[in-house]
């Protein structure tokens, strides 16, 4: 079947099988930031934004998001300039192996769009589905908080 | 740390990870991101039985499926015994593994390799292979393994290095210092307990995977998610009967390892397909395969006896252990020895100490390396039994641990007697700030105010517990790391290291070391790590070796290059070398004349006394200075449900000078969380037939952000004179202490002493019921 995906503003008209998952379709299109880990909707690694909401691409049929707006981490930074969440993760040491990071950046971004001034609990709750096996979470939670502060600032955008 | 690091420009500073920008932008840096056109999809048919003989395999139906290119069974590959353990050579692990065998030894053991042009065809082929099995009785727990008449798991003639095949004993170790029995007879207090710690999954988010192909010259290229590229090349050479010169192993970024990728697991299957078909091949384990068919941690059980005098001086310790290596013996002897050698020296004031026991085979998933490498299992028994002793003696357990533990300038005879698979190396503690760790942690948790108070909060009751830990910095006189530095005409340097950054940030701290020695900004160091064709040898990322061993190699290589620079500058400037100083990218003479590194290298490359400025250096540790740790846990136990709430876990570490404090803290925090998970949530359950039931993230509970209260980690100021710029390693130690600290805290809260971890709510609930009855 034929579908159209709007990924980070790029339109892709593609042929897929009805059973193809969004994860593999995006990776085949070259969006390698979308990563496979559990493939059973239980770790958050493969998170992308669909219509601005975090969605687990490993268990979402590509056919079900035909025509919708999809965001991946490739679309977040502008040229060399990092998104404040990305910058804060680097500063706080929130990326060790880095495999979970695209999912965490996107889930964090969705949170901050909805709630620009989240409490520690808000952050933990929003990102609870994003497993990180390396960091022990503290540095990442701090990073989201720090990024929120930057994005609330007058200098941002 | 703060004072000492002020003397330095680059080390001791919280530099951002060099690969960080690529990681946060989601760049294609991991093995699965490397597109290799035409790569066949490789899948493995796995045994549904824990112990069986393959009587026949009929793959004709599978071979006829469109898109299926190759199906390999034990009849198609040469039978070569090997060990999957990524260790120094010769490996202190038995050669008891075959790529494909006619016997299967656990649920998940490989039966056949399928290669197809699509995943769908490969999966269809798996279902179309008909295998006839002759079922054998399985051995599904450690105690049954050594029983008279137990089924023999490795009865094959051609395995070697197994301690006693007929009794399923993969490895055995005994050592005694002094006379334990006699010393115990003279003690005022003697207690004997049994502690049992279950296995754990690594759960790295990037599954085990590799892609293999032949280069135009016919050499085998292996891009793989490994912690041990050079061991991988050597072991592949053995399995594939291909010379080392014909194999190149490339390690891109790695999505987590924790020891799980210190064994050669998925690579040989893809490589065999490439050699048999001439075509590129890719294998990616599913989450279920990663869980049940890679490596898990060694389950261990200890009978431990400790004796002390009436003043609380511990005089004798005896540990008799049983360790479960599962179906294969990679890392079996060494993890067992480390459970003693990286714990017992902590309590070095004893007159006598014994450590011994067996590592046995079972028909369960093979155990292997895992962060801590046996030390957490040993420490659970050792720390908790000392905690129990303190309660017998009616003194503060922290006080008892404090007064009996090792300090700077002291040693333990165990360092010499127990190494990894062989004798160790004697060493005196040149840096040990354990007391400072204790003092800071004690204050942070509020030890004196909270201990023994059993503060109630509705149905919940509070308690605190502590544990002290040590680890090492590499395997002395065994682990070798090497580094090459070469200079470019813009004053930058390529740093080529065999050391394997698996997310730990080692590329960054190694670059910091080079930048510090050469007095250049960090940006001038371009790191390339772990490519067997390009970088010098290094054993890889394990045994807390990279900072100390590889770090010293980088320091030496940079010092050699610095010496060359000064010699050449002296000649170029026509000055005496002793008048010259290298700083801020310029060689300056005391009379004011100078040459920049850029100019110096450009001249020597193109016009003047032409040569490549470069050097290689190697390092093998003469000793293995331990990092130290004091951990405190505060818990609330719900007496109605048995649920344990971790309120706060506090860990202070001495890792010498932290070369990069943010990355060092990250190691400590991450390891602590893995320990917290193991203590409270992570539990493996098998079916009655030995199948791992907890093989995904729904059934195997890795801690999430909501599963703990606070995690407070810190470093104390310290300096290890033998380390690079005073550093020791810190990758593993954080995982050793959470289990005993939390177990001791549960006891402080409830009076319930749990001697079998993990501490699941239902266990505590039933214990509470018992108390009430």
- Tens-place pLDDT, residues A14-48: 999 999 999 999 999 999 999 999 999 999 999 99
Pick from B182, B200, B168: nearest CA to B380 = B200
Contacts 24+ apart (CB under 8 A), B396-404: B396/B451, B397/B465, B397/B466, B397/B744, B398/B438, B398/B442, B398/B447, B398/B451, B398/B466, B399/B312, B400/B312, B400/B314, B401/B466, B401/B467, B401/B468, B402/B435, B402/B438, B403/B312, B403/B313, B404/B312, B404/B313, B404/B314, B404/B347, B404/B349
State the Rg of chain B over Cα.
Answer: 27
| Rounded Cα–Cα distance for residues B689 and B440 (Å) | 49
Using a CB–CB cutoff of 8 Å, tell me whether B230 touches chain A.
Answer: no
**pLDDT score recorded for residue B630:** 98
| C-alpha to C-alpha distance for A38 and B206, rounded to whole angstroms | 9
Q: What is the model's pLDDT at position B5? A: 65
Residue A154 is predicted with a pLDDT of 87
Residues 484-523 of B with CB under 8 A from A: 502-505
Nearest CB to B205: which of A91, A133, A141?
A: A133
Report the CATH architecture of A84-152.
Orthogonal Bundle (1.10)
Number of Cβ within a 10 Å radius of residue B319: 23
Q: So what's the pLDDT on residue A156? A: 87
Does the beta-carbon distance from B284 to A36 stay under 8 Å?
A: yes
Q: In CATH, what number does B34-136+205-256+261-293 get?
A: 3.90.1170.50
pLDDT tens profile A78-129: 788 999 999 999 999 999 999 999 999 999 999 999 999 999 999 999 999 9
- How many H helices and E strands in chain A? 5, 5
What are the structural domain ranges in chain A? 2-75, 84-152
Residue A146 with chain B: CB contacts under 8 Å: none
Inter-axis angle of helices B267-277 and B229-240, nearest 10: 50
The H-assigned helical ranges of B45-93 are: 60-63
Are A73 and B669 within 8 A, CB to CB? no
pLDDT band at A77 (very low <50, low <70, confident <90, very high): confident
Tell me where in chain B the CATH 3.90.1170.50 domain(s) lie.
34-136+205-256+261-293
What is the widest separation between alpha-carbon atoms in chain B?
Answer: 91
Q: Is B2 a residue whose pLDDT tops 50? A: no
B669 → chain A, closest CA residue: A136
Helix (H) or strand (E) holding A110: helix A101-114
User: Which pLDDT does position B1 carry in this prediction?
Assistant: 43
Q: Please provide the average confidence, as pLDDT, over all residues in chain B.
A: 97
Nearest CA in chain A to B713: A138
> Is the alpha carbon torsion for B754, B755, B758, B760 positive or negative?
negative
- pLDDT-based confidence at residue B773 (cuts at 50, 70, 90): low
Rounded to 5 degrees, φ, ψ at B86 are -85, 80
Tell me the mean pLDDT in the region B733-759: 97
C-alpha span between B124 and B376 (Å, rounded) = 43
Per cent of chain B over pLDDT 90 is: 98
> Which strand (E) or helix (H) includes residue B132?
strand B130-135
Number of residues that make up chain B: 773
What is the percent of chain B with per-residue pLDDT over 70, rounded to a whole number?
99
Task: Please tell me whether residue B218 adopts helix, strand or coil conformation.
Answer: coil
* pTM tops 0.90, yes or no: yes
Fold category of B299-475+623-772 in CATH: Aldehyde Oxidoreductase; domain 4 (3.30.365)
What lies within 8 Å, CB to CB, of B729 at 6+ separation is B471, B472, B473, B474, B544, B545, B546, B547, B548, B627, B655
What is the predicted pLDDT for the residue at B641?
Answer: 95
The confidence band for B4, taking pLDDT boundaries of 50, 70 and 90, is: low
Ranges of CATH 3.30.365.10 domains, chain B: 2-28+480-620, 299-475+623-772
What are the angstrom distances between the C-alpha of B273 and each of A60, B29, B114, B282? 32, 24, 9, 9
Asked whether the beta carbons of residue A40 and residue B696 sit closer than 8 angstroms, the reply is yes
CB pairs below 8 Å between A and B: how many?
163
Contact A9, A75 (CB under 8 A): yes
**Which residues on chain A are in Cβ contact (under 8 Å) with B505?**
93, 96
Q: Using CA atoms, how far apart are residues B676 and B686, in angstroms rounded to an integer?
A: 22
Sheet (strand B189-197) strand order: B169-177, B352-361, B314-326, B299-308, B189-197, B756-757
B116, B69 in Cβ contact below 8 A? yes
Enclosing H/E stretch for B563: helix B551-573
* Separation in Å, CA A99 to CA B31, B255, B266, B548: 11, 5, 19, 26
- The answer to whether B18 and B508 have CB atoms below 8 angstroms apart is yes
Q: What is the mean pLDDT of residues B218-226?
A: 98
CATH value of B2-28+480-620 in 1.10.150.530, 3.30.365.10, 3.40.50.1220, 1.10.3720.10: 3.30.365.10
Q: Which CATH superfamily is domain A2-75 in?
A: Beta-grasp domain (3.10.20.30)
Interface pTM (ipTM) of the complex? Answer: 0.98
For residue A121, what is the nearest residue in chain B, using CA coordinates? B706
Nearest CA in chain B to A33: B26
B644-654 vs B594-596, strand pairing mode: unpaired
């Amino acid at each position: 079947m034929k579908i159209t995906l709007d990924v980070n503003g790029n339109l892709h008209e593609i042929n897929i099988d009805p059973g193809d998952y969004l994860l593999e379709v995006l990776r085949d299109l070259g969006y390698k930031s979308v990563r496979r880990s559990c493939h059973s909707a239980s770790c958050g690694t493969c998170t992308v934004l669909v219509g601005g909401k975090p969605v687990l691409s490993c268990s979402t049929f590509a056919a079900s998001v035909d025509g919708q707006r999809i965001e991946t981490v490739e679309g977040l930074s502008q040229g060399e300039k990092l998104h404040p969440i990305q910058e804060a993760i680097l500063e706080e040491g929130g990326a060790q192996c880095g495999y979970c990071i695209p999912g965490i950046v996107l889930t964090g971004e969705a949170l901050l769009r909805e709630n620009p001034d989240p409490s520690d609990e808000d952050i933990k709750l929003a990102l609870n589905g994003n497993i990180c096996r390396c960091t022990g979470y503290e540095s990442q939670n701090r990073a989201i908080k720090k990024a929120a502060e930057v994005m609330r600032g007058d200098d941002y955008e | 740390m703060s004072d000492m690091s002020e003397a330095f420009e680059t080390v001791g500073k919280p530099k951002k990870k060099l690969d960080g920008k690529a990681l946060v932008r989601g760049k294609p840096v991991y093995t699965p991101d490397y597109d290799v056109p035409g790569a066949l999809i490789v899948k493995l048919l796995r045994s549904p039985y824990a112990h069986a003989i393959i009587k026949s395999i009929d793959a004709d139906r599978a071979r006829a499926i469109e898109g299926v290119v190759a199906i390999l069974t034990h009849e198609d590959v040469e039978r070569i015994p090997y060990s999957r353990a990524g260790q120094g050579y010769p490996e202190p692990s038995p050669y008891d593994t075959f790529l494909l065998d006619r016997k299967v030894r656990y649920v998940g053991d490989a039966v056949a390799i399928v290669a197809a042009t699509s995943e769908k065809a490969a999966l269809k082929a798996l279902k179309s292979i008909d295998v006839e099995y002759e079922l054998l009785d399985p051995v599904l727990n450690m105690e049954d393994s050594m029983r008279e008449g137990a089924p023999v798991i490795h009865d094959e003639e051609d395995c070697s290095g197994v301690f006693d095949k007929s009794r399923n004993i993969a490895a055995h170790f005994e050592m005694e210092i002094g006379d334990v029995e006699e010393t115990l007879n003279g003690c005022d207090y003697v207690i004997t307990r049994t502690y049992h710690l279950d296995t754990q999954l690594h759960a790295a988010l990037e599954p085990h995977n590799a892609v293999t192909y032949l280069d135009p010259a016919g050499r085998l290229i292996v891009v793989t998610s490994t912690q041990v590229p050079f061991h991988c090349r050597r072991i592949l050479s053995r399995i594939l009967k291909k010379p080392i010169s014909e194999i190149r192993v490339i390690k891109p970024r790695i999505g987590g390892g924790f020891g799980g990728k210190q064994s050669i697991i998925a690579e040989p299957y893809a490589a065999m397909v490439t050699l048999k078909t001439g075509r590129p091949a890719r294998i990616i384990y599913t989450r279920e395969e990663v869980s049940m068919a890679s490596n898990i941690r060694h389950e261990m059980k200890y009978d431990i006896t400790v004796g002390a005098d009436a003043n609380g001086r511990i005089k004798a310790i005896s540990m008799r252990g049983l360790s479960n290596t599962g179906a294969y013996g990679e890392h079996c002897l060494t993890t067992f020895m480390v459970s003693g050698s990286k714990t017992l020296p902590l309590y070095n004031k004893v007159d006598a100490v014994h450590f011994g026991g067996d590592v046995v085979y079972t028909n369960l998933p093979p155990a292997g390396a895992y962060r801590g490498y046996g030390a957490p299992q040993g420490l659970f028994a050792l720390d908790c039994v000392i905690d129990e002793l303190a309660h017998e003696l009616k003194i503060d357990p922290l006080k008892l641990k404090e007064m009996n533990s090792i300090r700077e300038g002291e040693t333990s005879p165990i360092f010499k007697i127990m190494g990894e698979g062989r004798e160790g190396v004697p060493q005196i503690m040149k840096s040990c700030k354990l007391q400072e760790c204790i003092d800071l942690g004690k204050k942070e948790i509020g030890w004196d105010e909270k201990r023994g108070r059993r503060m109630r909060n509705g149905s919940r009751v509070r308690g605190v517990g502590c544990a002290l830990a040590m680890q090492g910095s590499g395997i002395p006189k065994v682990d070798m790391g090497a580094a090459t530095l070469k200079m470019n005409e813009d004053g930058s340097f390529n740093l080529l290291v065999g050391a394997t950054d698996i997310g730990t940030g080692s590329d960054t701290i190694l670059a910091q070391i080079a930048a510090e020695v050469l007095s250049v900004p960090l940006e001038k160091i371009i790191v390339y790590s772990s490519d067997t064709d390009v970088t010098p040898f290094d054993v890889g990322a394990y045994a807390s070796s990279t900072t100390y061993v590889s770090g010293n190699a980088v320091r030496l290589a940079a010092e050699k290059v610095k010496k060359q620079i000064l010699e050449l500058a002296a000649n170029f400037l026509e000055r005496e070398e002793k008048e010259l100083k290298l700083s801020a990218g310029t060689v300056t003479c005391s009379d004011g004349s100078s040459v920049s590194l850029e100019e110096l290298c450009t001249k020597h490359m193109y016009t003047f006394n032409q040569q490549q400025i470069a050097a290689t250096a190697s390092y093998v540790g003469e000793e293995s200075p331990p990092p130290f740790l004091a951990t405190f846990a505060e818990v609330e136990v719900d007496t109605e449900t048995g649920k344990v709430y971790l309120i706060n876990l506090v860990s202070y570490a001495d890792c010498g000078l932290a070369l990069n404090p943010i990355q060092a803290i990250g190691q400590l925090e991450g390891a602590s969380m893995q320990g917290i998970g193991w203590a409270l949530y992570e539990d493996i359950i098998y079916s009655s037939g030995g199948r791992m039931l907890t093989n995904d993230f729904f059934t195997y509970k890795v801690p999430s952000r909501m599963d703990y209260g606070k995690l407070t980690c810190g470093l104390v100021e310290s300096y290890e004179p033998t380390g690079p710029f005073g550093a020791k390693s810190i990758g593993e130690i954080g995982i050793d202490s959470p289990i005993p600290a939390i177990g001791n805290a549960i006891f402080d809260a409830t009076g319930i002493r749990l001697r079998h971890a993990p501490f699941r709510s239902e266990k505590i609930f039933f214990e509470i019921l018992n108390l009430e009855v």
